[in-house]
Chain A
Amino acid sequence: AQSVTQLDSQVPVFEEAPVELRCNYSSSVSVYLFWYVQYPNQGLQLLLKYLSGSTLVKSINGFEAEFNKSQTSFHLRKPSVHISDTAEYFCAVKSGGSYIPTFGRGTSLIVHP
């Protein structure tokens, strides 16, 4: 069974600093990779996804993630964060014949002024 590890439960950072949220998964067979964001008291919404093709994928609000097959990782990065990026971020992986992605435990990004 697929497992997804988000190595940091909480990442505090100052505004305009760069950030990386880490995600590793267990099975590398035919994976689709996702990052979701959950703002306070809201549901989850898709931030970006990797299905195939270029291993670097980007969101409209400046986040990017790179699929690294050899390291089974899909880390999320942003070169300069804003206060409004404060949220919970979830990595999810769908692999093989499964129908539903497996989610990590989430990383709380806290951006300080």
Chain B
Amino acid sequence: NAGVTQTPKFQVLKTGQSMTLQCAQDMNHEYMSWYRQDPGMGLRLIHYSVGAGITDQGEVPNGYNVSRSTTEDFPLRLLSAAPSQTSVYFCASSYAGTGGYEQYFGPGTRLTVT
């Protein structure tokens, strides 16, 4: 199993540009989530999904959109990038079984908005 994969690893955007961060998992997990990690702020939840077709907002959803058309994929869209969105983004998946909702993380995408 590849686990949770994220692309790209690095990205530089200009203010106002749009892009999609890709996330995929091959473990058939029900739940998927996106976090951003900033120095001193820990991990903050952006959006999450409890299954295909169902998404909800986390702590810091503004400026980001998500959709979940399949169990495997959970892309994060930045519609108009701003310097405040410079961060490291992590995707994670989990399931409600014996793992107790343990999160499996991808390697991250480092985004810089100039």
Contacts and interface: CB of A to CB of B under 8 A. Distances in A.
Interface of A: 6, 9, 32, 34, 36, 42-46, 49, 51, 90, 92, 94, 99-106
B100 A94 contact: yes
Given A43-B90, A90-B43, A99 B105 contact: no
Interface of B: 31, 33, 35, 40-43, 45, 48, 50, 58, 90, 92, 94, 96, 100-103, 105-108
A100 B108 CA distance: 18
Contacts of B33: 100
Contacts of B40: 9, 105
A2 B26 CA distance: 30
Contacts of A92: 103
A105 B96 CA distance: 24
A103 B107 contact: no
Contacts of B90: 43-44
A9 to B, nearest CB: 7
B107 A42 contact: yes
11 contacts: A42-B107, A43-B108, A46-B102, A49-B102, A92-B103, A94-B100, A99-B96, A100-B45, A100-B48, A101-B101, A105-B42
Q: Shortest 4 CB-CB distances between A and B: which pairs?
A: A105-B42, A51-B100, A103-B43, A43-B105
Given A49-B100, A100-B58, A44 B105 contact: yes
A63 to B, nearest CB: 16
A103 B46 CA distance: 13
